[in-house]
């Protein structure tokens, strides 16, 4: 099945973008593979506004770029956005459903013919036909019964195979959905999943008046760490922080990667005091251990984070809650880092 072309650029325009994309990738020593070129093309052309905004922000903050970052951007802004994998699985599911319907129609037709044959036999039994005629019709009914039984068995077998195939496709669809909501680097929920969960939590709070809080955490001096050790080592830091955060959240609490070196926690049914306690637990757990590469026997030192906490207020939109937590995070940075600040 042909996909709709997302690009409307003519030959001259596409050629101009080509001359810009290749040097852009070369600047960061990134090979012009199809995936990397797709990201570069969307960035240079501005075709994907959200991707361009995220990549501009990353380059501004970090000054460097890697294939891993491009892969993460690809999964976040292209794989999630176009839904091609989901559409493919859905199409396969529809094929199976059509096959089941077709087999059911054929089976119904054969069963209808069988019932017609039985009705004809009943008419003969009710009449005064000759022995030869009765014997002939009896033989037809026997043959028709055997044929119908075989057809029904075939139908049941085919239906069983199709149902197994449908179950497999459903699992694939669920896997695609899960992958679209998972951050590739840290395996936490990604920004898309966070946005959905936060909106759902606000709706629930509006209906049931249940308190909840939001925590935003940011890795301290992350850019300095990347500049000192490079992005390959730098990727270990968000992984370490994510793993530690995940070990600290329980029950209905949700942890997600907000983007770059920022993480968020949604804490349902939690007042401000309880949220600060959770945030402190996370802060201490991260700062008390050093990041160590045991294979190379290298100690990269302690990692710390700063955190901002906000609580839901009546009438809040997601952006309001995020803004207050972000402002509190900014104060935590200003006041010395490795600390927690509460929103006003």
The answer as to whether 186 is a domain residue is: no
Tokens for 57, please give them. 């922000």
Higher pLDDT, 223 or 12: 223
What pLDDT shows up at residue 3? Answer: 41
Pair (326, 221) in one structural domain: yes
As for how many domains the chain has, the answer is: 3
- Residue where a domain terminates, one of 154, 180, 206: 180
Q: Is 133 part of a structural domain of the chain?
A: yes
**Same domain membership, residue 262 and residue 235:** yes
Q: Are residues 299 and 204 in the same domain?
A: yes
Positive/negative CA dihedral, 327, 332, 333, 339: negative
157 domain residue, yes or no: yes
Report residue 128 CA to chain centroid gap: 72
Is the domain of 18 the same as that of 109?
A: no
Domain that holds residue 144: 85-180
The pLDDT assigned to 1 comes to: 35
Of 139-153, 171-185, 227-241, which one has max mean pLDDT? Answer: 227-241
Report residue 159's pLDDT band, with 50, 70 and 90 as the boundaries.
low
Q: How confident is the model at residue 79 (pLDDT cuts 50, 70, 90)?
A: low
- Examine the domain organization and report whether 70 and 130 are in the same domain: no
Determine the number of helices (DSSP H) and then strands (DSSP E) in the chain: 13, 7
Say how far apart CA 307 and CA 292 lie, in whole Å: 23
**pLDDT per position as a tens digit, 228-257:** 888 777 888 999 999 999 999 988 999 999
Confidence of residue 201 (pLDDT cuts 50, 70, 90): very high
Boundary (domain end) residue, out of 161, 180, 199: 180
Q: Which of 24-33, 49-58, 147-156, 306-315 has the lowest mean pLDDT?
A: 147-156
Q: Which of 108-112, 131-135, 334-338 has the highest mean pLDDT?
A: 334-338
Are 137 and 240 part of one and the same domain?
no
pTM: 0.57
Which residues are registered as beta bridge partners of 302? 290
How does residue 2 score in pLDDT terms, banded at 50, 70 and 90?
very low
Q: Does residue 56 sit within a domain?
A: yes
105 with 206, same domain: the answer is no
223 & 308 share domain: yes
Write out pLDDT tens, residues 265-276: 999 999 999 999
Same domain, 212 and 229: yes
Asked if residue 207 and residue 158 are part of one domain, the reply reads no
Residues 203 and 110 grouped into a single domain: no
* Active-site residue identified among 261, 269, 280, 334: 261
Q: Are 263 and 255 in contact (CB under 8 A)?
A: yes
Domain stop point among 28, 63, 82: 82
3-state SS of 199-237? Answer: HHHHHHHHHHCCCEEEEEEEECCHHHHHHHHCHHHHCHH
State yes or no: is 261 an active-site residue. yes
The torsion of the CA quartet 181, 184, 189, 191, rounded to 10 degrees, works out to -70
The CA R_g of the chain, rounded to the nearest whole Å, is: 31
CA 291-297-298 angle, to 5 degrees, is: 45
The CA distance from 73 to 35, in Å, is 10
What token pair was written down for 288?
A: 């008390």
117 shares its domain with 35 = no
């Amino acid at each position: 099945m042909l996909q709709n072309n997302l690009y409307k650029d003519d030959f001259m325009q596409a050629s101009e973008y080509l001359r810009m994309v290749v040097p852009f990738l070369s600047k960061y020593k990134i090979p012009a593979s199809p995936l990397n070129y797709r990201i570069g093309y969307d960035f240079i052309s501005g075709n994907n506004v959200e991707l361009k905004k995220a990549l501009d922000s990353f380059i501004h903050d970090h000054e460097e770029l890697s294939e891993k970052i491009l892969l993460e951007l690809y999964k976040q802004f292209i794989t999630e956005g176009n839904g091609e994998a989901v559409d493919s699985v859905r199409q396969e599911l529809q094929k199976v459903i059509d096959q089941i319907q077709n087999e059911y129609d054929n089976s119904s037709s054969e069963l209808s013919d069988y019932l017609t044959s039985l009705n004809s036999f009943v008419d003969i039994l009710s009449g005064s036909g000759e022995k030869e005629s009765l014997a002939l019709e009896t033989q037809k009914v026997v043959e028709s019964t055997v044929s119908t039984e075989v057809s029904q068995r075939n139908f049941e077998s085919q239906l069983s195979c199709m149902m197994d195939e449908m179950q497999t496709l459903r699992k694939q669809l669920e896997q695609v959905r899960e992958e679209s909501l998972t951050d590739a680097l840290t395996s936490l929920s990604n920004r898309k999943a966070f946005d959905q969960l936060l909106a759902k939590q606000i709706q629930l709070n509006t209906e049931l008046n249940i308190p909840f809080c939001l925590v935003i955490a940011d890795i301290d001096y992350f850019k300095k760490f990347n500049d000192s050790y490079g992005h390959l080592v730098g990727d270990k830091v968000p992984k370490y922080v994510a793993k530690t955060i995940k070990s600290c959240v329980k029950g209905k609490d949700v942890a997600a990667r907000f983007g770059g070196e920022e993480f968020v926690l949604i804490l349902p049914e939690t007042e401000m005091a309880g949220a600060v306690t959770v945030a402190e637990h996370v802060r201490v757990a991260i700062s008390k251990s050093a990041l160590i590469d045991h294979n190379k026997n290298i100690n990269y030192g302690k990692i710390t984070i700063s955190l901002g906490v906000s609580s839901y207020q009546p009438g809040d939109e997601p952006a309001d809650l995020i803004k207050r937590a972000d402002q509190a995070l900014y104060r935590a940075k200003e006041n010395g880092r490795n600390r927690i600040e509460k929103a006003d």
